[in-house]
Amino acid sequence: MKLLAALLLAAATLGLATNAGAATPRENWDQHCAKCHGADGAGTTRLGTLLKVRDLTKAEVQAAFTDAAARTAIEDGVKDSTGRFTMNPYGAKLSPEERAALVAFVRALKK
As a whole number of angstroms, the distance between CA 76 and CA 102 comes to 14
As a whole number of angstroms, the distance between CA 63 and CA 50 comes to 23
Decide if residue 109 touches ligand HEC (CB under 6 A).
Answer: no
Q: Burial of 98 by CB count in 10 Å (0-12 exposed, 13-18 middle, 19+ buried)?
A: buried
As a whole number of angstroms, the distance between CA 85 and CA 79 comes to 4
Q: Please identify, using beta-carbon distances, which residue of 9 and 25 lies nearer to ligand HEC.
A: 25
Per-residue x/- marks for ligand HEC, 36-55, CB under 6 A? xx---------x---x-xx-
As a whole number of angstroms, the distance between CA 41 and CA 107 comes to 10
Decide if residue 62 touches ligand HEC (CB under 6 A).
Answer: no
Decide if residue 23 touches ligand HEC (CB under 6 A).
Answer: no
Query: What residues from 63 to 102 belong to the interface with ligand HEC (CB under 6 A)?
Result: 65, 69-70, 73-74, 78, 86-88, 90, 102
Residues that bind ligand HEC (CB under 6 A): 32-33, 35-37, 47, 51, 53-54, 65, 69-70, 73-74, 78, 86-88, 90, 102, 106
